[in-house]
Amino acid sequence: MNDREWQPNEAQPGELYTPEGQIKAAGAFARGLTHADPRGRTYRRQMQRTGLLFVAVAVAVVVAIALVTAIF
């Protein structure tokens, strides 16, 4: 098995907690971000929408808390 085929979910138990395992996981993550596979592109777009929704909700909560504390 070479580094191009390595996936974090196929790792040996505890491998992600070693420095080598963390480096491999970071490399796999970076390859996933830069890979031009159309299937990955749609998945990334869905995850970006979810992330933006969470950011919008967090901003709305902060604004609501600021308004409530300003009023009372």
C-alpha dist (Å) from residue 41 to 26, 45, 51: 19, 6, 15
pLDDT digits (tens, 9 = 90+) for 27-70: 887 887 777 677 777 777 888 899 999 999 999 999 999 999 99
Helix (H) or strand (E) holding 45: helix 38-71
CA–CA dist 35, 46 (Å, integer): 16
Where do the structural domains in the chain lie, given as residue ranges? 8-71
pTM value > 0.75: no
Q: Per the structure block, which two tokens stand in for 43?
A: 């998945």
Q: What is the DSSP string of 10-36?
A: GSPTTGGGSHHHHHHHHHHHHHHHH--
